[in-house]
Amino acid sequence: MDTELHVVERYVDASPAAVFDLVADVRRMGEWSPETYRCEWRRGAEAGAVGARFRAWNRHGWMRWFNSPVVVVADRGREFAFDRRVFGMSVVWRYTMEPSGTGTLLRESYQLGRGTPRWVDWIVGKELRMPNRHAELDDGMRVTLDRIAAGAIAD
């Protein structure tokens, strides 16, 4: 996988603060993400504050795995970001909110700190049957933002 920044965006008919509250409550990520089906705060954390850790359970096809990200940015109404380490690499997932008309332009992005080793790309391609993991993740981010936008209307 490369180190380039991958970004998707969507208009959400809610205030930036309301959108932040949806995104920063990681316990709701299973409602939004097509891949992450459950998250729980760890070590006594109860909210999206810098330094808070959570456990995230993911699935893709028959594969199941978990990771333990740490919140690196929690600026209500502006940005929520977390860093997850995998195979010794940093992957920062970021949600930014920008006022737009009567709502919010919500962006989701991820960026690897450095490219993954070839053997990891091979495993992802073979075992997860994903020859283009970036395309899969980009599609997943679009689904996530669509679900957040629908959830903002419902809340």
| pLDDT per position as a tens digit, 42-94 | 988 877 799 999 999 999 888 898 999 999 999 999 999 999 887 677 889 99
| pLDDT per position as a tens digit, 136-148 | 888 999 999 999 9
20 touches 76 (CB < 8 A): yes
Spell 67-92 as b/e; 16+ CB within 10 A means b: eebebbbbeebebbbbebeeeebebb
76 touches 19 (CB < 8 A): no
- Kindly list the structural domains of the chain, giving each domain's residue range(s) and its CATH number in brackets, ordered by start: 6-154 (3.30.530.20)
pTM of the model: 0.85
Amino acid letter, residue 155: D
